[in-house]
Structure formats: structure tokens, C-alpha cells
Amino acid sequence: MNRVSTFLLLISLIFTGCHKKVTPVEYVLPDTVQLQSGDLAFRTGISKESRAVTTLDRNSIYTHVGMVVWTDDGWRVLHAVPNERASKQEEDSVKLEPIGTFFRSDRAEKGGIYRYPLTPKDTQQLREHALALYARHPLFDNLFDAQDTIAFYCTELVYFLYLQELQIDLSEGRRHNLPLYPDLIFCTDVSRNSKLQEVWSFH
């Protein structure tokens, strides 16, 4: 009987283990973090494109970036991301997500909020522009063409908002070259901006 019980217990443990799914956990930002529109939210993902970026660019701490915006529903991150569609029928597009979702456990293993010194008028301008841009529902820029303003990839989006609204070049002219691609603005090209100050981070 003991043997049978042990066998059944083992079998049930094996099957429970096989079917166990890890539920992604929404990140809870500490109350002490005071956000403002225009803050940059960086994260390092666990996707293969994130791995590729960190493999090639050893100086890169982060691999994805979005912009923090105050909305009627609370703080959100405006960001352009590939391969995070709810269904295959949808197209990759610019998203406006809660902070906790942006830093969700299955999407971020490192993250941080960084601030460019801005006036209240600047932050208001950025916020309005970001929300107006989101209302157009632009697509993710699969061509990675920073010259167009129809579709955006992650760094292109924050670069575009700051440049067009405030004439600030977050990348300070830095670019990365990949074969068969146009010159790209990598996360590190933005995060290396000397004026950015860390508000909060987790590793």
C-alpha cells in the first residue's frame, strides 16, 4: 500500500509540475517614486531581440524604452514594441500600458525610470503630443526607418517626441549600424544621454 501511495504521489507531482504555468506578475512601483510626463521608462526584456541587443552591445543595460504619460486612467507608458500582440491577426503597434504591465515579470528582468530636466510647460507639451500620437494608433516600424513619422520602433518613438516637441536630440546623434538595415537608434544611444537622471531602478 505504501508503495502504491508513493507511486501515485510521484505521478501526481510529475503531472502537476508539467501543467504548472508561471503567471506573469504586474510590477508594483514603490509609492516613493514620483513620476512626471516625459520620464523615460527603460527595461531589459527576455525576448530574443533583447538578448541580441545585449550580446552585440555589451554596454547596453536596457533594451527597450517608452515614455511615461499621465492619462485620465493614471500613469501609462507609451511605447512601440514588436511581438506583443494579443492575437496574430493584430499588427504590432504603439501601445499605452500601465506601468506595472510595462515592467511585468515576463517582459522585464531589469528596469528603470529616468528623467530629462524639463520645465512644467515641456512636460505638458510632451504629454499632449504623446496622447495625440497614440490617438492615431501608429504601427510598429518594421522597416526601422527613423526618417518616417508614420510608424515607430521603441527608441525612434521617444526620440521623435522629444525632437519634434522640444528640439532635444535624446540620442545626441549616436547611431548603431546593422547590415541590411538603416542606421538604428539603440537604447544605449538614448540611455547614454548625459542629462538623464535616474529616478528609480530595479535589477
Tell me how far, at minimum, the Cβ of 92 lies from another protein, in Å. Answer: 7
Tell me how far, at minimum, the Cβ of 193 lies from another protein, in Å. Answer: 23
Q: Which CB, 7 or 181, lies closer to another protein?
A: 181
Q: Which CB, 68 or 151, lies closer to another protein?
A: 151
Name the residue among 27, 172, 171 with its Cα closest to residue 113.
27
Count how many Cα atoms sit within 13 Å of the Cα of residue 53 in the half-sphere of its side chain.
Answer: 22
**DSSP for 151-196, written as a single string:** EE-HHHHHHHHHHHHH---TTTT--B--TTS--B--HHHHHT-TT-
Tell me how far, at minimum, the Cβ of 64 lies from another protein, in Å. Answer: 12
Number of neighbours of residue 42 by Cβ within 10 angstroms: 26
Q: Which CB, 77 or 81, lies closer to another protein?
A: 81
Tell me how far, at minimum, the Cβ of 164 lies from another protein, in Å. Answer: 23
Tell me how far, at minimum, the Cβ of 180 lies from another protein, in Å. Answer: 5
User: Rounded to whole angstroms, how far apart are CA atoms 189 and 144?
Assistant: 15
Q: In the sheet that 74-80 helps form, which strands lie side by side, from edge to edge?
A: 94-98, 74-80, 64-71, 40-44, 110-115, 197-202
Q: Which CB, 92 or 165, lies closer to another protein?
A: 92
Q: Which CB, 51 or 195, lies closer to another protein?
A: 51
User: Rounded to whole angstroms, how far apart are CA atoms 65 and 46?
Assistant: 14
Q: Which CB, 36 or 63, lies closer to another protein?
A: 63
User: Rounded to whole angstroms, how far apart are CA atoms 118 and 38?
Assistant: 8
Tell me how far, at minimum, the Cβ of 33 lies from another protein, in Å. Answer: 31
Name the residue among 182, 160, 157, 168 with its Cα closest to residue 41.
157
Residue numbers of the site for another protein (CB under 8 A)?
Answer: 48-49, 52, 55-56, 82-83, 92, 142-145, 177-181
User: Rounded to whole angstroms, how far apart are CA atoms 163 and 153?
Assistant: 15
